[in-house]
């Protein structure tokens, strides 16, 4: 098995998400949503992604994540989920996203 090369597009989030900002119509690019109950992990992911130029929103559990996602003016371009969280785990968030046709295609 060969290792992915640096030019391998599957290793670059750029093909999945737009950089933040507005296009000619004034529409803001959708954010990446990070969902984790560990504040240190959320902060680290947020810092890394923002350093790369991405707009990032953070939720501390699945219930917060679903409320956040529904409040956004457009669906996020990517959701990064912790699977093990209290109240509503990552699997339940994924199932809820898949059950909503407007959100089912979010990677």
Is the pTM here over 0.85, yes or no? no
Please name the residues in contact with 83: beta carbons below 8 A apart, sequence gap of 6 or more.
Answer: 89, 90, 91
Mean pLDDT score across all residues of the chain: 81
What pLDDT sits at residue 87? Answer: 87
What's the token pair of residue 20?
Answer: 């933040």
pLDDT at 22 > cutoff 50: no
Per-residue pLDDT reduced to its tens digit, 42-60:
999 999 999 999 999 999 9
CA distance linking residue 1 with residue 20, whole number of Å: 36
pLDDT at 39 > cutoff 50: yes
Residue with tokens 């599957």: 10
CA atoms 29, 37, 65, 80: torsion sign: positive
Per-residue pLDDT reduced to its tens digit, 4-17:
444 444 445 454 54
């Amino acid at each position: 098995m060969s290792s992915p090369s640096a030019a391998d597009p599957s290793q670059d989030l750029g093909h999945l998400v737009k950089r933040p900002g507005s296009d000619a119509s004034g529409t803001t690019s959708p954010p990446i949503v990070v969902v984790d109950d560990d504040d240190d992990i959320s902060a680290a992911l947020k810092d890394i992604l923002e350093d790369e130029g991405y707009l990032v929103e953070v939720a501390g559990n699945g219930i917060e994540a679903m409320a956040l996602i529904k409040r956004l003016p457009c669906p996020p371009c990517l959701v990064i989920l912790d699977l093990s969280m209290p109240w509503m785990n990552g699997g339940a968030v994924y199932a809820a996203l898949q059950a909503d046709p407007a959100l089912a295609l979010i990677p």
